[in-house]
Amino acid sequence: MHRRTDLRPEPGPVPRPVLLVIAHGSRDPRHAATVHALTRRVRALRPGLAVETAFLDFNAPAVGQVLARLYADGVREVVALPLLLTRAFHAKADIPAVLSESAALLPGLRIRRAEVLGPSPLLVAALERRLTEAGLDPADRPTTGVVLASAGSSDPEAIAAIAETAREWRRTGWCAVRPAFASGTSASGFPRTEDAVRALRAEGVRRVVVAPYVIAPGRLPDRIADGARAAGADLLAEVLGPAPELALLLLRRYDESLAAAVSRPALTA
């Protein structure tokens, strides 16, 4: 009878890289609470996947702190996912800088950078969910104008992405979809939320609604809401928050990052 002499344990499954969701952060406590609600939904959608949350500013824990803790716990591969809708300054400068700093301090830690969330049909689906939850009847789409209200950016790539989202969304049957910023900037060419609402009214649009194209509450989302009310919008949707579509999108970006691992090397020390 053959007896096994090698008593080493059978190799187990290779652990999946940790998903590190990086949010901007805010002094407004609603911001962090919303981000944590979203990451809880991500964990519920994919049990067994380790999901961590970090912030660039204002809130704890910081990105470097989370990465150092994971490294001390033996983690050697992380997918860093910016909780951002467009590729603007934070995605192009702040996040790469903090990840590079951590990679230099933690030898052997592989950090893969996932893409930002937008553009995506899942974001449009989340926007429509919020409008429906706010009371909009889908049958009213042909007579409704939507103000797609973002926080604001002077980055040309981000501005173009928001404009394209508005154009694509308009093609699904809305009377109009106009991009706007919480604070209008000459660089973007986008009006403020209240000015976009008034412009649609002046064009004779029967019903004008405001859909905040932001993830979590804070100062700029509050400015969007104030503008919508001041201009008399018929309906104001909530921020995207922990919408199911947003949680699915985070997992999609995570999976895409792993699928691209062969062609896009990870950051290492």
User: 43-78: per-residue pLDDT in tens?
Assistant: 999 999 999 999 999 999 999 999 999 999 999 999
Domain ranges (residues) in the chain = 18-117+245-259, 135-236
| Domain pair 18-117+245-259 / 135-236, same fold | yes
Torsion of CA 151, 85, 155, 170, to 10 degrees: -80
pLDDT digits (tens, 9 = 90+) for 144-172: 999 999 998 989 999 999 999 999 999 99
Contacts of 163 by beta carbon, 8 Å cutoff, 6+ apart: 179
Q: How far is CA 222 from CA 90, 219, 228, in A?
A: 21, 5, 10
Instruction: Give the three-class secondary structure for 237.
Output: coil
Q: Where do we find the tokens 């952060």?
A: 25
pLDDT, position 261: 75
pLDDT, position 231: 98
- DSSP letter at 99? H
CATH number 1.10.3210.10 is the correct assignment for the domain at 18-117+245-259:
no
CA 73 to chain centre: 27
Q: Provide the H-helix boundaries in the chain.
A: 29-45, 63-72, 89, 95-105, 121-133, 156-170, 193-202, 219-230, 244-259
pLDDT, position 189: 84
pLDDT, position 185: 58
Distance linking the first and last C-alpha atoms of the chain = 50
Pairing of strands 51-55, 176-181: unpaired
DSSP for 130-184, please give it. HHHHTT--GGGGGGEEEEEEE-----HHHHHHHHHHHHHHHTTT-SEEEEEESS-
Topology adopted by domain 135-236: Rossmann fold (3.40.50)
Name residue 148's beta-bridge partners.
Answer: 179, 211
Task: Tally the C-alpha atoms within 13 A of residue 226's C-alpha that lie toward its C-beta.
Answer: 11
Q: How many CB atoms lie within 10 A of CB 46?
A: 17
Is 143 within 8 Å of 176 (Cβ atoms)? no
Report, as ranges of residue numbers, the positions in the chain whose pLDDT lies below 50. 1-5, 7
Rounded to 5°, angle at Cα 127 from 145 and 236 = 55
